[in-house]
Amino acid sequence: MTPYDRNVSAEQPPAALPGARLLFSLDPGVSYLNHGSFGAVPIGVQRAQQRLRDEIESNPLRFFAQGLSDRIIHTRRHVAAFLGADPEGSALVANTTTAASLVLQSVKLEPADEVLLSDHSYGSVALAARRRCRRAGATVRTVALPMPATDAELVSRVRAALRPGRTKLLVIDQIASATAMTFPVREIVAAAHEHEIPVLVDAAHVPGMLPVDVASIRADFWVGNLHKWAFAPRGTALLSVAPEWRRKIEPLVVSWEQEQGYPHSVEYQGTLDYTPWLAAPTGIFTLRTLGWADVRAHNAALAAYGQRVLGDALNVPRGELPQPADPELAMRVVPLPAGLATTTPEAQALRQLIADKLAVETAVNAWGGRGLLRLSAQVYNRPDEYDRFAERLPALLHSYRRG
């Protein structure tokens, strides 16, 4: 047992992990409560990446011509092992955005076909699906999944939305961005497979936030960002592809390893900066050095605490604060007063106002006609950052409404 085990009571904040805050170079004048959007790279990982850049600049030709492929394969194996993914069926890619387009491009679509998304799907992934369908004359359909909902309800709604013979791809999040809801992806994949419908699991937030065994989910395609919760430099994600699809995966850009097929054709994209990938194992090492179970328990407890104090400040009844199905989730949402941030431009404007006036970075999203404040918690956050935010937010929202 560690002091953090099951410490997810929203009443008491968790104890800080000693020294963890010093591992980051964040601006001390800002409460950075939005690890979820772009991560934050520990100083040790920044240095590892800088050392790689120094190595490149000492002899660029040697770096690119001698052993780069082996280093990429080694890194992919390391990352795949961390995620329980088959290293031979996985490819390092820049981000989830790239993987979504790769997958959409690899699925055959005829005019009567459709791609099924949910109303929690990430905006840019939905845009990619729309473009792909428009080009094929196919359709994007969206299934509405309520918040809150039990896992059984979610599976049953997705199951009811599948159209065997027409649905050629289901895209489902493992952790949704706007709502921070988790989805029972193993059961949803099994339900889709009953009708031979392939599934792309968008697990952008999963690596480093939740333990995962990618192979056991049995998704046709699974992608997770390492640059959010696994402390990798930005531009690091892993796409894992089921054996029957590997031959069909075509890179978005053709380069020298095209003839070698997946995953090499996808990973090698010419003269790029590969240092984020090569430094990614240092991020995983940082998590392990801090004690990954302790990190998860700390972050979940702090996110629960933040949700409780912000919810109280905004007079949200405790029963209306969405609770995650997975207690280790490090992001929580607080519904904003009705009528606030109900569209994406309004949500973005409010997020900017909060940053400018309160020096707090957080996420504000419009979802289902409601504005949702999304709080992240990471080892560099302190309970008093949420306390201070909670003290000052109501007055800001009041003046914002009047203005």
Ligand X SMILES: Cc1ncc(COP(=O)(O)O)c(C=O)c1O
> With helix as H, strand as E and coil as C, how does 333-356 read?
EEECCCCCCCCHHHHHHHHHHHHH
Binding-site member from 31, 90, 139, 177 for ligand X (CB under 6 A): 177
What element of type H or E holds 373?
Answer: strand 370-376
What's the min distance (Å) between Cβ of 39 and ligand X?
9
Q: Which stretch binds ligand X (CB under 6 A): 10-18, 65-73, 84-92, 93-101?
A: 93-101
What's the min distance (Å) between Cβ of 67 and ligand X?
28
Tell me the per-residue interface mask from 18 to 37 with ligand X, x by CB under 6 A, - otherwise.
Answer: -------------------x
- Label the pairing between strands 331-335 and 370-376: antiparallel
Binding-site member from 31, 34, 49, 97 for ligand X (CB under 6 A): 97
CA 206 to chain centroid, in Å, comes to: 6
Rank residues 7 and 236 by Cβ distance to ligand X and give the closer one.
236
What's the min distance (Å) between Cβ of 158 and ligand X?
16
Interface with ligand X, residue 49, by CB under 6 A: no
What's the min distance (Å) between Cβ of 38 and ligand X?
8
CA distance readout (Å), 78 to 139, 228, 328: 38, 17, 23
For residue 78, give the amino acid letter: H
- Label the pairing between strands 90-93 and 237-241: antiparallel
- Footprint of ligand X on 99-128 (CB under 6 A): 122, 125
Q: How many CB atoms are located within 10 Å of the residue 9 CB?
A: 12
Rank residues 364 and 390 by Cβ distance to ligand X and give the closer one.
364
Structural tokens at position 160: 């009811």
Angle at 233 between CA 285 and CA 359, to 5 degrees: 110
Q: Which stretch binds ligand X (CB under 6 A): 56-64, 95-103, 147-155, 283-291?
A: 95-103
Total residues binding ligand X (CB under 6 A): 12
What element of type H or E holds 32?
Answer: strand 31-32
- Footprint of ligand X on 198-237 (CB under 6 A): 202, 204-205, 225
Q: Which stretch binds ligand X (CB under 6 A): 160-168, 197-205, 269-277, 374-382?
A: 197-205
84: Cβ contacts below 8 Å, ≥ 6 apart: 212, 213, 214, 215, 216
Rank residues 188 and 204 by Cβ distance to ligand X and give the closer one.
204
Interface with ligand X, residue 173, by CB under 6 A: yes
CA distance readout (Å), 267 to 91, 256, 295: 6, 10, 30
The residues of the shown chain that bind ligand X, judged by CB under 6 A, are 37, 95-97, 122, 125, 173, 177, 202, 204-205, 225
